[in-house]
């Protein structure tokens, strides 16, 4: 019996070692598989669980990471890495109070741990900021940020040599070209023109319903792009290989324009400018990262404060609340950032009636639209992310049949080839941030259809070089996933 236990231990250790090797190579899914095999051999080893939690963090499976790290702590209440992993998972889910408790536990177990002390202070600071914002928002909840912006009083200095909007404030082709060139040199847009663009985009988005119907013109193509996540130079590459928007080349960017990549400021201004230039040919939908809580953690808030102002960030957040939640193309293709619902019988009219002018709630239709993911099994299950749910092929089929649709296009998940076809061809994921976060090695993709042929065609592409600014350079809490 002792020999069998010894052999089991050695086999489990071998899987752990292999998992560690995969992790170092940034092959996180392979690492997860190896750690899982080690856990199957020895489910009471806290190290195996903490290692898998770390790999889950890298793949954004925060719900799973939370479960594994909690189990590791259960097995070994003095295991510091278990607390670190759980704190990181809670940070990713914007649960700062829970993270603070774990960092405080680490400081009790290891009083000389400087990292835990620093993270505790950062958590406390963020909690105070959130409480302050909530307090002033409650006092002045009906006031628009626009009321505090007085464009006529903002002077453009003679020293400013960047792109300028014409006197009527309308975005032109020349302005867009100048803006892109200026951004390539990593220079910020003057705040007067920045405010003008956001204000006009806000007005435009506010005029849409939460669900927008789009018809494709004859002899035109309709392109759907997934997450761009602040990868400005890859965004420009999309237009270089696939053409800029126009009457015969329509685009829908399917959410998650900002965060993670450190050029989110440039991405969002180019996208908003394109929307103002081509309102009938260019569309944007809201993703789960077009939200206050995600921006606070994943970089956009810090980036806008660095390149713009605090007031500009507030205006962005107000504008994000105006973005439509979903589109129906040619009455047959349902486009949404995340996925489907925790309940049956949802109609397109139900989606149209959602009050989207708010931060997403933690449950309900709006949350599901922004956060959910498909799974291969029938039915529904809790999400690996800790928010939203997993939905199966039967859920997809029922929703499509109920609403007389052909298939779903969604984004929200990195895919090795830039896209994935699931649920018998009825649920397609498209992701357009190649080499996501400079480490995943994935391709990006564009999905294209025409009015007379709604069968999806795909164009894939690889990443292009960008200036030496690391992803998440403006991220709150620093390197939380390296703990």
**337 tagged catalytic:** no
Return the number of other C-beta atoms located less than 10 Å from residue 146's C-beta.
17
What's the DSSP call for residue 146?
G
Q: Which residue has the tokens 């489990």?
A: 12
Q: Find, among 296, 33, 314, 85, the residue nearest to 194 by Cα.
A: 314
DSSP secondary structure, 397-463, as one string: HHHHHHHT--EEEE--S--TTSEEEETTTTEEEE---TTGGGTS-PPEEEEEEETTEEEEEEEEE--
Four-CA torsion 202, 206, 209, 215, nearest 10 degrees = -50
222: phi then psi, degrees, rounded to nearest 5: -120, 120
Query: Which residues have C-beta within 8 Å of that of residue 222, sequence separation ≥ 6?
Result: 214, 216, 250, 251, 252, 329, 448, 449, 450, 451
Of the listed 289, 337, 412, 423, which one is catalytic?
A: 289
221-225 vs 444-450, strand pairing mode? antiparallel
280: tokens are: 């009938």
User: Which residues are catalytically annotated?
Assistant: 289
């Amino acid at each position: 019996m002792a020999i069998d236990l010894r052999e089991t231990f050695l086999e489990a250790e071998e899987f752990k070692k292999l998992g560690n090797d995969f992790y170092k190579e940034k092959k996180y899914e392979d690492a997860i598989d190896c750690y899982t095999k080690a856990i199957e051999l020895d489910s009471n080893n806290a190290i195996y669980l903490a290692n898998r939690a770390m790999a889950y963090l890298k793949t954004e499976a925060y719900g799973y990471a939370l479960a594994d790290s909690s189990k590791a702590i259960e097995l070994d209440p003095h295991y510091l890495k278990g607390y670190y992993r759980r704190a990181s998972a809670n940070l990713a889910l914007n649960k700062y109070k829970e993270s603070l408790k774990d960092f405080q536990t680490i400081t009790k177990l290891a009083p000389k741990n400087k990292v835990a002390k620093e993270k505790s202070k950062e958590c406390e600071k963020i909690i105070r900021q959130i409480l302050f914002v909530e307090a002033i928002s409650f006092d002045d909840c009906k006031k628009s940020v626009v009321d505090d912006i007085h464009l006529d009083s903002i002077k453009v200095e003679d020293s400013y040599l960047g792109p300028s909007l014409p006197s009527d404030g309308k975005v032109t082709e020349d302005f867009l070209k100048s803006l892109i060139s200026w951004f390539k040199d990593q220079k910020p847009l003057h705040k007067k023109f920045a405010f003008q663009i956001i204000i006009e985009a806000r007005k435009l988005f506010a005029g849409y319903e939460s669900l927008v119907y789009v018809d494709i013109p004859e002899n035109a193509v309709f392109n759907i792009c997934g997450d761009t996540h602040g990868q400005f130079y890859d965004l420009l590459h999309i237009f270089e290989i696939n053409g800029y928007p126009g009457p015969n080349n329509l685009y829908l960017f399917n959410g998650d324009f900002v965060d993670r990549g450190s050029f989110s400021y440039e991405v969002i201004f180019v996208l908003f400018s394109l929307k103002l230039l081509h309102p009938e040919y260019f569309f944007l939908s809201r993703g789960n990262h077009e939200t206050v809580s995600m921006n606070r953690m994943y970089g956009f808030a810090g980036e806008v404060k660095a390149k713009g102002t605090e007031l500009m960030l507030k205006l962005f957040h107000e504008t994000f609340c105006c973005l439509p939640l979903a589109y129906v193309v040619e009455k047959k293709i349902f486009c949404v950032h995340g996925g489907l619902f925790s309940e049956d019988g949802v109609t397109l009219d139900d989606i149209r009636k959602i009050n989207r002018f708010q931060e997403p709630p933690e449950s309900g239709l709006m949350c599901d639209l922004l956060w959910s993911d498909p799974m291969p099994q029938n039915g529904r299950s809790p999400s690996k992310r800790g928010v939203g749910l997993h939905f199966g092929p039967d859920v997809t089929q029922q929703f499509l049949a109920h609403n007389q649709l052909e298939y779903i296009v969604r984004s929200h998940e990195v895919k090795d080839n830039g896209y994935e076809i699931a649920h018998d061809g009825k649920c397609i994921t498209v992701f357009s941030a190649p080499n996501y976060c400079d480490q995943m090695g994935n391709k990006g993709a564009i999905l294209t259809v025409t009015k007379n042929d709604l069968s999806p065609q795909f164009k894939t592409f690889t990443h292009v070089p960008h200036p030496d600014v690391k992803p998440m350079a403006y991220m709150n809490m620093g390197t939380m996933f390296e703990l």
